[in-house]
Amino acid sequence: MTLFAQYLKERENKEIIENDFGFVTYYFLSSGDCYIEDVYIVPEKRRSGLASEFGKAIELIAREKNSKRIFGSVDQNANNKTESMKFLISYGFLLSHNSGNTIYLTKEL
């Protein structure tokens, strides 16, 4: 476990899946649903399927914890927001709601 992973777990009770080309952070809500907080893939590996691999890994973990849904979000002020939205929708997420500048999406498991 990397130092950053230890930090996330200890400070915020969040998990991370990471490799040399990217990472995804996530945590479980009090409802039992899973929230994917951050996804980062280095530019040269984008569109390689790595984000989908991370997504499948989180789905497996969420199912093992009997989660019914996974949530994700897109900050409308972030860089690459259109690509983020396209990926989430292509991965099976549906629009849920918005709050301020954040659009929330959900995927039923």
pLDDT at 1: 84
- Looking at residues 27-50, what average pLDDT do you find? 95
Q: In what order do the strands lie in the sheet with 94-99?
A: 15-19, 22-28, 34-41, 69-75, 102-108, 94-99
* 8-state DSSP, 54: H
Which H helix or E strand runs over 86?
A: helix 81-90
Query: What is the tens place of the pLDDT at every residue in 61-95?
Result: 999 999 999 999 999 999 999 999 999 999 999 99
Any idea which fold 3-108 has?
A: Aminopeptidase (3.40.630)
pLDDT at 108 exceeding the cut of 90: yes
